[in-house]
Amino acid sequence: MRTDLFDFELPAGNIALRPASPRDSARLLIVRPDGTLGDDMVANLAQWLEPGDQLVVNDTRVISAQLKGRRIGRDTEPKIEATLIRRLDGSRWQALVKPARKLSRGDVVRFGNEGRVCLLGHLDAQVEHKGGDGEITLSFSFHGPALDQAIADLGAPPLPPYIASKRAADERDVADYQTMFAVNEGAVAAPTAGLHFTPMLETALRERGIGIHRITLHVGAGTFLPVKAEDTAGHKMHSEWGSISRDTALALNAARARGGRIAAVGTTSLRLLESAAAEDGTIEPFTGETAIFIAPGYRFRAVDILLTNFHLPRSTLFMLVSAFSGLDNMKRAYAHAIDSGYRFYSYGDACLLFRDKST
């Protein structure tokens, strides 16, 4: 399909720069399969689900992937900003850097400064490989847990570009940009639908007889990238690592056999569940990489309901929700959300989508 079919205009005032407080006080737009809409709050999520339904959340934890430093070892020492996007092994990461033109293969970048406490006060990395679009491979001077600690000490939360361009990350973001389920470190972007959950909401869901299950998908920076190809068929997704345990797969399959529906909390959970699903919808245990790209025409196998935030125009995530609920339905839903003052993107409000099973 043409990428421009997924474009829309969003006023800057609709972009949320801070999350709702409390988290579950965010607004919730209900999008039914027939396209009719309803306005509610995330705190009332349990009322829109049935006993026996199963919520699936992503328990990935965002690392402090934004690093600032300088190139050393040459006559000049230009400032360098790097966002870690994918761990390759114990000491190497793929990263997006700017300005990329200031770096060549073999250069050394020193992150941090001597005024901060991180072992020797800084962290060095050599440019092992340089690709296109600002992507490089960094080989760090530390390895394993020592490297993880150094990144945690010197890095900052990698806020999405549409927030970072408006304000700098601060101490509030350290907590705000993690979900209450976050335990497994490895993401460089938050699974933002999970940001709406509170212990009180979790209690309300369980009291209604709704199961809550954890899976892991380490979200990559590719989630922020617009689709540049003129046609969706020309877009290539970045791969991300995910895991679904055997116990979780068995529990979800048993619930479905009893008539319960699978509700994914966020597009990351949905993409992993669909990656692990057999043709008949059976969810298999899964550990590995997925680069699944879901656009209109995709046949969903595992997920019946999706709780998700409002996404960027021309993004793979808006394509995904259009595949789930229909492009026309989602365009009407987004137009209503904009007119009604819903807050968009990572710190914004949410919508609850019920799959259009006619496609």
Does residue 11 have a cis peptide bond before it, meaning omega lies within 30 degrees of 0?
no
Those residues whose C-beta lies under 8 Å from the C-beta of residue 177, and which sit 6 or more positions away, are: 62, 157, 159, 190, 195, 346
Maximal CA-CA distance, the chain: 69
329 backbone dihedrals φ, ψ, rounded to 5° = -60, -45
**pTM, full prediction:** 0.90
Q: Coil, helix or strand for 106?
A: coil
CATH number of 3-62+174-354: 3.40.1780.10
Number of C-beta neighbours around residue 253 at 10 A: 16
What residues are paired with 264 via a beta bridge? 56, 306
CA distances from 134 to 7, 72, 104, 239 (A): 25, 19, 11, 17
Query: E strand or H helix at 268, and its extent?
Result: helix 267-276
The Cα–Cα gap between 243 and 246 comes to 10
CATH number of 66-155: 2.40.10.240
The Cα–Cα gap between 90 and 150 comes to 13
Q: Coil, helix or strand for 358?
A: coil
Q: Where are the domains of the chain?
A: 3-62+174-354, 66-155
Give CA angle at 136 (219, 230), nearest 5°: 65
Q: What is the pLDDT along the chain (359 residues), one digit of tens a residue?
A: 899 999 999 999 999 999 999 999 999 999 998 989 999 999 999 999 999 999 999 999 999 889 999 999 998 999 999 999 888 899 999 999 999 999 999 999 999 864 444 445 689 999 999 988 789 999 999 999 999 999 988 988 888 888 988 988 888 998 999 999 999 998 989 999 999 999 999 999 999 999 999 999 999 877 666 788 888 888 888 889 999 999 999 999 999 999 999 999 999 999 999 999 999 999 999 999 999 999 999 999 999 999 999 999 999 999 999 999 999 999 999 999 999 999 999 999 999 999 977 65
Name the token pair of 204: 């309300």
Pairing label, strands 92-98, 108-112: unpaired
Name the token pair of 303: 């997920």
